[in-house]
């Protein structure tokens, strides 16, 4: 039986990062995943993900974001890859909305650089945007995007370079305590590890359900639309737009002909991840295309393509990180609630340190499993 210091089950966003940080610290580690790193079966794919420092869901995200920016740049330097693009970020909404007021407080409290623009100022600077007069805009110069598949593949490749084994095409079937460690059964072999880190995305829900924590898995769809004036969208900032109870976001055109965008709200809840429908249905685009025609009038053409991904939502929309309350050699981490990718490199560092030290940094107390299970110390 092969033996490791730590095994990481699930090497998507958080798992690939955890594996990398563990391997870089010199531990004997292995990663398991049913698919190759950068696959399209989970939550970490679809060309790009937004990164930004202005966060008001919880103030303790901001220090983790600061660390994430540094770690993404470190990974770029180590791999020679271009992973993080700072295009700036436009956040658009009505001035009295929770979104805009939350951003205002976040910018002020954390002393983050920003500009507040009127709708007219926004259109003069970015003529592709047609912002209603009732809306205000915050420009975040430190916002941008990450190349999502490239990031996962870079973490995985560098983990291997530092000595990690990766067992692609192998699912975690079961685990059980074995002394101070864990005996792990995959679809192809048995393994032993001193500690097990479970970062299996939507597939982690049963682990949390057994502890009385309910997660919801949502099917989401990303769209790429043809552009009638693609030149205008080459240098467009990343944008987030709250409109009449719906949340939309989009990116500059990376290929010179289409724009990726999506609706963050809505989506079909699934009984289990395997129920996901990969086909694109007309109702998937009921809100997005009509909104785009209003936001970018005369500039949006037909849908070029669409892709599905998964959100795994906690009730409070925050992540969940913690040691198993009955088996301290098992560390659970997942439930990104649709906003975790940007933070995955910093969370991976935290998980690696936790697996080594047997305790988690105080900086992730606000994400603890204990907050959802009062009896967990």
Provide the number of structural domains found in the chain: 2
Interval 342-350 mean pLDDT: 97
- Domain assignment present for residue 288? The answer is yes
Residues 232 and 352 grouped into a single domain = no
Phi-psi region of 26 (alpha: psi -120 to 50; beta: other; left: phi over 0): left
Cα angle for residues 215, 218, 224 (degrees, 5° grid): 150
Residues 185 and 258 grouped into a single domain = no
Residue holding tokens 């039986």?
A: 1
Residues 305 and 323 grouped into a single domain = no
Residues 241 and 305 grouped into a single domain = yes
pLDDT higher than threshold 90 for residue 335: no
Residues 205 and 223 grouped into a single domain = no
Residues 327 and 341 grouped into a single domain = yes
Q: Which domain holds residue 207?
A: 2-51+148-212+316-371
Interval 161-184 mean pLDDT: 97
Residues 253 and 269 grouped into a single domain = yes
Residues 156 and 278 grouped into a single domain = no
**Residue range 235-273, pLDDT digits in tens:** 999 999 998 889 999 999 999 999 999 999 999 999 999
- Domain assignment present for residue 377? The answer is no
The CATH number of whichever domain residue 278 belongs to comes to: 3.30.9.10
Q: If you average pLDDT over every residue of the chain, what do you get?
A: 95
Dist. CA 20–CA 34, nearest whole Å: 18
- Domain assignment present for residue 103? The answer is no
**Residue range 76-120, pLDDT digits in tens:** 999 999 999 999 999 999 999 999 999 999 999 999 999 999 999
Per-residue pLDDT at 244: 85
- Domain assignment present for residue 266? The answer is yes
- Domain assignment present for residue 87? The answer is no
- Domain assignment present for residue 348? The answer is yes
Question: What proportion of the chain, given as a percentage, has pLDDT over 90?
Answer: 94
- Domain assignment present for residue 68? The answer is no
For residue 103, give every residue at least 6 positions away whose Cβ sits within 8 Å of its Cβ, in sequence order, or none. 54, 56, 91, 138
Residues 196 and 249 grouped into a single domain = no
Residues 164 and 297 grouped into a single domain = no
The CATH number of whichever domain residue 10 belongs to comes to: 3.50.50.60
């Amino acid at each position: 039986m092969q033996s490791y210091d730590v095994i990481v089950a699930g090497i998507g966003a958080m798992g690939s990062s955890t594996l990398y940080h563990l391997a870089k610290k010199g531990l004997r580690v292995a990663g398991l995943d049913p698919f190759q790193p950068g696959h399209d079966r989970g939550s970490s794919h679809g060309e790009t993900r937004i990164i930004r420092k202005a966060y008001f869901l919880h103030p303790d995200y901001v220090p983790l974001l600061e660390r994430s920016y540094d770690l993404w740049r470190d990974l770029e330097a180590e791999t020679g890859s271009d992973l993080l693009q700072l295009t700036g970020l436009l956040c658009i909404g009505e001035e009295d909305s929770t979104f805009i007021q939350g951003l205002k407080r976040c910018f002020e409290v954390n002393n983050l650089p920003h500009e507040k623009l009127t709708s007219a100022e926004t259109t003069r600077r970015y003529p592709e945007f047609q912002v209603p007069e009732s809306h205000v805009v915050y420009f975040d110069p430190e916002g941008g995007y990450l190349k999502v598949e490239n990031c996962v593949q870079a973490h995985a490749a560098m983990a291997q370079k530092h000595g990690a084994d990766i067992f692609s095409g192998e699912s975690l079937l079961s685990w059980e305590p074995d002394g101070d460690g864990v005996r792990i059964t995959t679809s192809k072999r048995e393994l032993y590890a001193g500690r097990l880190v479970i970062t299996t995305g939507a597939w982690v829900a049963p682990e949390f359900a057994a502890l009385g924590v309910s997660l919801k898995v949502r099917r989401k769809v990303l769209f790429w639309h043809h552009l009638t004036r693609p030149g205008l969208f080459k240098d467009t900032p990343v944008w987030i737009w709250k409109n009449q109870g719906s949340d939309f976001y989009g990116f500059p055109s990376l290929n010179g002909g289409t724009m990726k965008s999506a609706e963050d709200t809505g989506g079909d809840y699934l009984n289990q991840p395997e129920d996901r429908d990969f086909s694109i249905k007309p109702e998937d685009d009921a809100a997005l295309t009509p909104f785009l025609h209003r936001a970018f009038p005369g500039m949006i053409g037909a849908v070029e393509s669409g892709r599905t991904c998964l959100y795994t939502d906690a009730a409070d929309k925050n992540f969940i990180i913690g040691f198993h309350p009955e088996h301290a050699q098992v560390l659970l981490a997942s439930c990104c609630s649709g906003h975790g990718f940007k933070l995955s490199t910093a969370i991976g560092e935290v998980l690696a340190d936790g697996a080594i030290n047997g305790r988690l940094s105080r900086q992730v107390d606000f994400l603890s499993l204990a907050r959802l299970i009062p009896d967990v110390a």
